[in-house]
Amino acid sequence: MVQQITQGIKVAVQTRFEGSFYTDHKKQYAFSYIVEIENQGDVEVQLTSRYWLIKDALNYTEIVEGPGVIGLQPVIEPGQKHTYNSGCVLMAPFGSMQGHYVMVSKDREFKVSIPLFRLNAPFAMN
C-alpha cells in the first residue's frame, strides 16, 4: 500500500493483479485498486474531479480525467473516509498510476496528490 497526505487529506492505494486475457489477439493485463481518502482536516471537503496518469512498461501513456470518482462526488466530513474500488487494463504486465483529485472546501479549491503506485503482475516481478 502507498499513501500520501496533502493539505490534511490522506490518500492510500492498494492494488491487485486480476489476471490476463486476449482482445483482438493482443494480451492485456487487468488490475484493480482500492483507494481510501481520509479527511484529517477540520472542515468538510468535496471531491469534484480526478486526473490520472497511467503508464505501462511499453511506454503507453493514458490520461484519464473527469468529474468525481466512479460516478460520485463524495463529501467527506472531518475524521471520515471515503473508499472506492476501480481498475484499469494495461498492454504490459506492469506499469504505474498517479494523479490528483480536485477538492472543494467551504472557501477554496485545491489539489490532493494521488501517490505513484505500481501495477505488477506477480509473474513479471521475477
Q: pLDDT category, 125, cuts 50, 70, 90?
A: low
Higher pLDDT, 16 or 106: 16
* 123 within some domain: no
Mean pLDDT, residues 62-74 taken together: 96
Q: For strand 2-6 and strand 81-90, is the pairing parallel, antiparallel, or unpaired? A: unpaired
* 125 within some domain: no
Mean pLDDT, residues 91-120 taken together: 97
* 126 within some domain: no
Is 78's pLDDT higher than 90?
yes
Q: pLDDT category, 69, cuts 50, 70, 90?
A: very high
Domain carrying residue 6: 2-118
Among 8-17, 93-102, 115-124, the range scoring the smallest mean pLDDT is: 115-124
* 124 within some domain: no
Distance, in Å, from the CA atom of 97 to the CA atom of 86, rounded to the nearest integer, reads 12
Domain count, the chain: 1
Strand order in the sheet with 9-23: 2-6, 9-23, 26-39, 81-90
> The domain spanning residue 78 has which CATH number?
2.60.40.1470
Is 126's pLDDT higher than 60?
no
